[in-house]
Amino acid sequence: MSVAEKTYKTSLINNRRYLGNKYKLLSFITGVVNEECANIETVADIFAGTGAVSSAFSDKTIITNDLMYSNYICNYAWFGAESYETQKIIDYVVRYNAKTNCSENYMTRNFADTYFSKKDCAKIGYIREDIERNYKKGNLNKRERAILITSLLYAMDKIAVTCGHYDAYRKGAKFEGSLELYVPLAEVNNNPKNQCFNEDANNLVKRIEADLVYIDPPYNSRQYCDSYHLLENVARWEKPEVFGVAKKMDRSGMKSKYCTIGATKAFETLINDIKAKYILLSYNNMAEKGNCRSNAKISDDDIMRILSRKGTVKVFEESYKAFTTGKSDIPENAERLFLCICFDEE
């Protein structure tokens, strides 16, 4: 049986665990946009995370952005304007899944029998190195590289011995299953005007324009680069030194100001610099219901004050069960959408 004939599994954009993922709220978000926003042709998702919200606007020109490179890579895989060869991706995935007895590498030396078994670490390291080698040789274009890295990150997430993030691994836990890559079902030919960025949203909005800017910033003190440092490490593949029990790399350049006491000031600057017809802010109402790290950094009063200077504000709310790390049980959590219909700017 040839490589092309061997079986493989496929994955969709939502097949990933991620804190704050809005996939289950897409009908709520799109419902508000369809009812309240007219003539939307371009949507900018500037804290895109997994890209779940962007996926609901695939019929528009999409601009995605995220401070984390691992999220940028996934967004480029799903929404990048560059086309790719489907069969090539299938062939690589089938070959990677068939690979056994991988040699020692960066992953085994640093992560063996922590989040993954030594055997899976060896395979992760081999695959990631092979992707980079083939990209540098010109055998893969930028989007094909992104799709294969995305396939690897999703595969890692399925078997990691964690509670859905990488703040810690479960010591003594049994390693169940083994690494298996799926073929991401990304559109071959996306909108040629789509753009994907990996930078500070406050800097990006000074250079872009969109009919609708969707904002879903971190709500609290939990830095995403702390929770997903291992996926970030593999995505970047710079092979840094890691330290501590959780095996984290230096993340000082990846911290979001929206997780600090400076969040309100950063938000005000962001809103002032946005050029759009509509701004849609998703902001959780955890307030004092979670632990102190979960408390929202920007108050409702500040949100209303800042948005009201930019335009007319409407607020929508829907209850839902949020994805947590297993330590919180908040029965009456609600997602609020603050829609700002921007004043015409001269």
Structural contact between residues 82 and 243, judged by C-beta atoms closer than 8 angstroms: no
Domain-embedded: residue 104: yes
Q: What are the respective helix, strand and coil percentages of the chain, to the nearest 5?
A: 40, 15, 45
Residue 121 CB-density burial (10 A; 0-12 exposed, 13-18 middle, 19+ buried): buried
Q: What is the pLDDT of residues 114-173, one digit of tens each?
A: 999 999 999 999 999 999 999 999 999 999 999 999 999 999 999 998 866 787 777 777
Q: Are residues 181 and 318 in the same domain?
A: no
Q: Are residues 159 and 299 in the same domain?
A: no
Q: Are residues 234 and 318 in the same domain?
A: no
Provide the CA 11 distance to its chain's centre, in angstroms.
15
69-79 vs 229-236: helix crossing angle, rounded to 10: 60
Q: Are residues 113 and 241 in the same domain?
A: yes
Q: Are residues 235 and 274 in the same domain?
A: no
Q: Are residues 158 and 199 in the same domain?
A: no
Tokens of 53: 């919200």
Q: Are residues 214 and 285 in the same domain?
A: yes
3-state secondary structure of 342: strand
Residue 319 CB-density burial (10 A; 0-12 exposed, 13-18 middle, 19+ buried): exposed
Q: Which amino acid is at 140?
A: L
Taking CA atoms, 312 is separated from 3, 34, 274, 301, 341, in Å, by: 57, 17, 15, 15, 5
Domains of the chain: total? 2
pTM, two decimal places: 0.91
Which domain, by its residues, includes 149?
A: 85-185+223-250
Q: What is the pLDDT of residues 251-309, one digit of tens each?
A: 878 778 888 889 999 999 999 999 999 999 998 765 444 444 445 679 999 999 999 99
Q: Are residues 75 and 217 in the same domain?
A: yes
